[in-house]
Structure formats: structure tokens, C-alpha cells
Amino acid sequence: DARGAGDRLFGFGNRNMESYAFRRLIIEQEIRVGLEADQFEVFYQPQVDLRDGSMTGAEALVRWRHPQRGLVGPAEFIDIAEESGLLGELSTRVLRLVCKQGAVWAGRGMFPRLAVNISPSQSRHPEFAADTLAILDASGFAPQQLHIEITENTAMTEPRQTARQLAALRQAGVGIAIDDFGTGFSNLASLTAMPVDVLKIDRSFVAGCVRDGSARVVVAAIISLAKNLGFETVAEGIESVDQRDYLVQLGCTYGQGFLISRPITAMQFEEMYLEGSAATGVRQKAGGGWPA
């Protein structure tokens, strides 16, 4: 539900439907202008091996560099872009930028794994896999270095169409991650039928895992489920050393969060990757990437 999206950004307070429709129209129009004027860019949030702090890659997160409003996050426009039928174009733009950047890095001997977020309308689209592979091919970025993130609910909306698209990508070497895992109400049987490599533990459980017993139980259950199904786990939203230590203790392998780094520009990411030091000061893994 996108109602309320853009409130802060565009300064609308009234939440009745008419003003929502009006607000949406304005933002929609601005998105069109933004696409035309190339105002969308990608930030990268480093992902690390929690056991030694070595960097494995990054999650790509779209940002809107708005000429008047400054740097705008996806919460302000993704839903409206989706409802307006503009997310396809925006997503293609993001994927192209990420693949292009990844290919540039590969040319300089850097091989971070890059994860891109995919929305429901994209992942069930019959041309999704073919389009993605065409973009990969045109860029020269290796499919093995690309991860696709879809949320649990996205995966389960149209499970068969989605699974077919994901399987084609995975066949080509692209990794599949289930985002915000634990927040949807998955049918676990259908989940096991999905081609999946990674479960991303939602930030809400990570936030609670130190003090809240039930959050800790959920985290432990997700890690154990992942182990038994042969998936990797990535914890999102790690903000404290205590959280990180708990996650490691519970057997979580990878993570990201403000403790390690906020989402940063490509240039900043490159510096951090080359320095090879996350918050822990440990060098990046030789060759980057995760174990297959």
C-alpha cells in the first residue's frame, strides 16, 4: 500500500483518497521526469562474512538524486512507481547500472557479488529471466556475481510463474535470495520448491535477537531451516556488535547493516572494497564472492 508514501518528501499531510490520488499523480510525473533526466542512481551496502569481517559483495539500493529534494530513498517512490507501471523501466535502469558497474570493477580485478532487489511485477513477468540475461550479456558482468533478491511474499504471489523465471536465471548462474525472510507467511512446502540460494533474515529479528527471546528463537529457526535446506543466510540490519556476535554464535554466515556500513556510493564502495577493511579491519576474501 503506497498511501502515505511521499508524505514526508512532498509535504502532504492529508490522507484522504482524493489527496492521495493527487499526490500520486505529482510523484508519478516527477518519476517520469527523473527517468528522462537520469536522476536515479545506485548505492551499495557492503555485505561481509560475519566470521572474519571479509567483504563478499554488496546489496544495490536505488536512490533518486532529485534536483530540488536531494537524495530520496526508495520508500518514497517504489510503490508509486509500481502502481504507475513505471517500475519496469526503473528496474531495468537499476539492473543496467549495477551490471555496468560490476563489469567495470571486474575489469579492475574486483569481483564483489552484487544483489539487486526485484519487485513482484518483475519476477513473475514471462520475459524477466530473458531480459535479465540479455542485460548481463550486454554488460559483460558474470551471472555468477549477480544475486536477485525477492521478498517472501513476492515469491509466493504467483509461485509457479515466479519459480520458472528464477529457475532460468539460476540455471545461468545467477544467485537467488529470499529477502525479509520471516516476515511473510510462507507456505514452507512451496518455498522448498523455489530455486533459492540464500535466506535473508529480516532486520526486525536481527534488531530483537539480543534482548528478545522470541526474536532469537525465530533467528535460530531460520538459520536451522536454511542449513537443512542447503541455503546460505544473510542477516540484514546489523547495528551492534552484540547483534553480530549473537548471529555468529547462532550460525549465521553473512550479514550487512549500519555496524559494517551504510549504503554508500559506487566510488565509496570501491575504496572500501580495496581497503579490504570493514568495521573489523579484516581483509576482503581473495577473489570475492561466496562459496558456490
The residue count of the chain comes to: 292
C-alpha dihedral sign at 106, 109, 113, 115? negative
Number of shown-chain residues binding ligand C2E (CB under 6 A): 24
Q: Give the gyration radius of the chain's Cα atoms.
A: 19
Which of Mg ion, ligand C2E, none interacts with 47 (beta carbon under 5 to 8 A by kind)? Answer: none
Which of ligand C2E, Mg ion, none interacts with 73 (beta carbon under 5 to 8 A by kind)? Answer: ligand C2E
Q: Could you tell me whether strands 232-235 and 40-49 are parallel, antiparallel, or unpaired per DSSP bridges?
A: unpaired
Question: In whole angstroms, how close is the CB of 136 to ligand C2E at the nearest point?
Answer: 16
Q: Alpha-carbon distance 259 to 226, whole Å?
A: 24
Q: Is 88 in the site for ligand C2E (CB under 6 A)?
A: no
Please select the residue that binds ligand C2E; options are 8, 14, 258, 275, rule is CB under 6 A.
258
Helix (H, G, I), strand (E, B) or coil at 110: coil
Q: Alpha-carbon distance 10 to 24, whole Å?
A: 10
Q: Alpha-carbon distance 261 to 285, whole Å?
A: 17
Beta carbon nearer to ligand C2E, 118 or 136 = 118
Number of shown-chain residues binding Mg ion (CB under 5 A): 5
Beta-carbon contacts of residue 137 (< 8 Å; ≥ 6 apart)? none
Please select the residue that binds Mg ion; options are 152, 180, 232, 270, rule is CB under 5 A.
180
Site mask for Mg ion (CB under 5 A), range 236-255, x = bound:
x-------------------
Site mask for ligand C2E (CB under 6 A), range 34-63, x = bound:
-----------x---------------xx-
Q: Is 75 in the site for ligand C2E (CB under 6 A)?
A: yes
Instruction: Provide the CA 140 distance to its chain's centre, in angstroms.
Output: 21
Q: Which of residues 7-46 bind Mg ion (CB under 5 A)?
A: none
In eight-state DSSP terms, residue 220 is: H
The three grid cell numbers given for residue 18, joined into one nine-digit string: 482524493
Single-letter amino acid code for the residue at 219: V
Q: Which residues bind ligand C2E (CB under 6 A)?
A: 45, 61-62, 73-75, 78, 91, 94, 117-119, 149, 179-180, 203, 236-239, 256-258, 263
Q: Which residues bind Mg ion (CB under 5 A)?
A: 117, 149, 179-180, 236
